[in-house]
Structure formats: C-alpha cells, structure tokens
Amino acid sequence: MSGLAAALEVVGARWALRIVEQLLDGPQRYGDLQRDLGVPTNMLATRLRELETAGVLRRLPLKHNTRAYALTERGLALRGAIDALARWGSAHVGEPAAGAADPQR
C-alpha cells in the first residue's frame, strides 16, 4: 500500500483531518470540538474513536465527567501535511478554474 493510501486509511474519512487540525493548537474538550467544527455529534464520536484507535489522538479524562482530546506524537506529525493542504485550499479554491495555465500541454 502506498504512503498516501495508508495515510488516507487513517485520516481520509470525512472530518478526520479537520478534527486533527483543531487539536494542533492543544487539547480541546468534546463540546468545544463539536461547536467549533459544527460536526454532527455521532460523527464526531465515531471519528474520535477511530483516531484514538489509530494512535493519532488520546482521551484526557477531566473532572465533572467531561472529556478532552489531545494529539499524540503521531497526530502532531500531521501538521506539515495539514498546513500544505490548507495553503493549497486558500490559494486555489474559490478562484475561477477556466484558463488555468497548464505546463503539461
């Protein structure tokens, strides 16, 4: 399996990279993640469980029965890829596509 295919097995599902991006700045509580991302709660719970199983993030038990999540070393190592995708999105999405110069012509 190629590196990209392996990566997408873990973080290719909808919302996964968005969740990791939110946690790059530090641990966050479940409720804050859900509010900031606007992700349906059942989807968030599923993705957090999958990312925890894959060793990308881990759960931090807090008082008053609340939970927070933090990236592991493996999760933090996604920063470069996430920043690169975000730069591409900012630079290239929203522009008109027509007439884009094409070096492969």
- Is the dihedral angle over the CA atoms 70, 47, 12, 93 positive or is it negative? negative
**77 is an interface residue for its own copies by CB under 8 A:** yes
> How many Å apart are CA 44 and CA 16, to the nearest integer?
9
Residue 21 C-beta: closest distance to its own copies, Å = 5
Cβ neighbour number for residue 14 with a 10 Å cutoff: 9
**61 is an interface residue for its own copies by CB under 8 A:** no
Residue 45 C-beta: closest distance to its own copies, Å = 19
Which residues here bind its own copies, judged by CB under 8 A? 2-12, 14, 17-18, 21, 26-27, 53-55, 58, 70-74, 76-78, 80-82, 84-98, 100-104
